[in-house]
Amino acid sequence: MSLVERQDTIGQNTAVWDGGMGSVSDYVALLKPRVMSLVIFTAFVGLMLAPGSVHPVLGAVAILCIAIGAGASGALNMWYDADIDEIMSRTRKRPIPAGKITRDEALAFGITLSIGSIVTLGLLVNWFAGAFLAFTIFFYVIIYTMWLKRSTPQNIVIGGAAGAFPPMVGWASVTGGVSLESFVLFLIIFMWTPPHFWALALFKSGDYRAAGVPMLPVVAGETSTRHHILAYSLLLAPIGIAPYFLGFATPVYGIASAALGLAFVALAVDVWRKREGDEARKACVRLFKFSIFYLFLLFALLLGESLIVGA
């Protein structure tokens, strides 16, 4: 918060405060609603796939808490990264760099929601899930945002775990624990994150370079990034099929995930081959967009199967 002393017309000293300008929609924007929607979806799939059952009201509470916890992480991320968000074109319009919300306000908002979501999940659902949500927020804010993001090109590889935990938290909300199946859901998102973000970083590397964020294309170069994208895509494709081999998905999922995995690898090969000019950029954009579709479809298939089989 910054206060500016000034004399008003009757010669009295009054302080002008530059905070308090955030509208409700600005605070909603702090929660990163688009990221939150992916978290809600994957956590819901984890919750639905878990063995046993949970009362629908408690299930809804669990998803709400996970969503708010993810939003709180987003707010704390924007609090810490306000300086680099101001530089990058992708993030320049966020509430803090746009001058609508001060850093202190974002920090208070993020901490309040973090504590609120953790305590509510713990009290109303179970404390294992609450503790797991706390760890997820800690991992995203402290490990990824404050430590890894600005110090290593492996930032999104390790930090990607934070985005991969929600289905495990959803699963834990039902079972009170973790299992191999929930770990596989984690692993799919964990292995998906690097090629997804590196494809983005290849066509936004100027942004990251300007902000001094050591993304792989900035530090190791674009060729090395293309090798990495291909390698991770080759690892991701079989992991995407794992739910079928582990017996918690049908052959329909097995065939569909294999086809989607092959398409993912084909697009990664395209990125690897095309290294110059507009064609290279288009290949990266194609892989980036397909990666979102890929993850959504895998989890939608798992959800659909659990609804049909469970019905």
Point out which residues bind another protein (CB under 8 A): 3, 8, 10, 12-17, 20-24, 27, 55, 57-58, 61, 124
On whether the CB atoms of residues 1 and 16 are closer than 8 A, the answer is no
Q: What is the rounded (10 degree) CA torsion for 304, 290, 245, 309?
A: 0
Extract the tokens encoding 171: 């699963």
CB of 13 to another protein, least distance (A): 7
Which CB atom, from 16 or from 210, has the smaller least distance to another protein?
16
Q: What is the rounded (10 degree) CA torsion for 87, 89, 91, 96?
A: 50
Which CB atom, from 72 or from 215, has the smaller least distance to another protein?
72
CB of 61 to another protein, least distance (A): 6
CB of 57 to another protein, least distance (A): 5
User: What residues contact 210, with CB distance under 8 A and at least 6 apart?
Assistant: 87, 88
CB of 98 to another protein, least distance (A): 14
Extract the tokens encoding 93: 């319009």
CB of 22 to another protein, least distance (A): 7
Extract the tokens encoding 170: 């959803």
CB of 134 to another protein, least distance (A): 19
Which CB atom, from 73 or from 120, has the smaller least distance to another protein?
120
Measure CA 181 to chain center: 20
Q: What gap in Å lies between CA 195 and CA 274, rounded to an integer?
A: 16
Which CB atom, from 27 or from 41, has the smaller least distance to another protein?
27
Which CB atom, from 27 or from 264, has the smaller least distance to another protein?
27
Task: Give SS3 for 119.
Answer: helix
Which CB atom, from 20 or from 251, has the smaller least distance to another protein?
20
